[in-house]
Structure 1
Amino acid sequence: MAREVTHTEDSPYIITPDDIHDEKGDVAICQCGLSATRPFCDGSHRATHDEDEDVRYKYENDDDDGERREIDEIVFRD
């Protein structure tokens, strides 16, 4: 499966010691592209568990609450 994610940020997010959870002690970085707390994981990847390996998807508003649709091709924008 592939996912199209729209990114609007134009700079990196620097992880500092303040980002480490006092109780959990871990930092989970989002790899699905759907997290509302990027670069950190917020569990949004759960919406991707039933994706078909051979299909490319787009999530409306790039979040797990948005509607998922299949897309045919990659569109490049300037």
Structure 2
Amino acid sequence: MTREVTHEADGPAILDASDTGDDGKIFVCRCGLSDSKPLCDGSHKAAEDEADGVVYKYEGDDPEGERREIDEIAYVDE
């Protein structure tokens, strides 16, 4: 499973002790769908049934947005 996600941030996210959960751990988003990036908010649950070898795009990078399969990710040089 692969996802195309649009990122608009242009700098690093700085994490500190306030980002830890009740268990003292920090969970970092790897699916690209979290509203609290770089922290995980559980949005990856929307992607649990994605098939291997398929590239997906979620409308608006929203886990509740329409999910569609795409042929490839196009990289644009600016």
TM-score by length of 1: 0.90
Matches of 1:18 and 1:45, distance apart in 2: 22
Q: 1: distance between equivalents of 2:37 and 2:15?
A: 11
Query: Per-residue deviation at 1:68?
Result: 0.4
- Structure 1 residue 9: deviation in Å? 0.3
- Could you tell me which amino acid in structure 1 is paired with residue 3 of structure 2? R
Superposition RMSD in Å:
1.1
**Which residue pairs with 2:8 in the alignment?**
8
Alignment of 1:10-25 (within 5 A): 10-21=10-21, 23-25=22-24
SS in 1 for 2:3: strand
Query: For residue 31 of structure 2, what is the aligned residue in structure 1?
Result: 32
Any residues of structure 2 matched to 1:59-70 within 5 Å, and which?
Answer: 59-70=58-69
Residue type matched to 1:17 in 2? Answer: A
In the comparison of the two structures, how many residue pairs are matched? 77
Runs of 4+ in 1 over 3 A off after TM superposition: none
Identity among equivalent positions (%) equals: 53
Corresponding position of 2:44: 45
Q: In structure 2, list runs of 5 or more residues that go unmatched.
A: none
**Equivalent residue number for residue 56 of structure 1:** 55
User: What is the deviation of 1:75?
Assistant: 1.1
State the secondary structure of the residue aligned to 2:56: strand
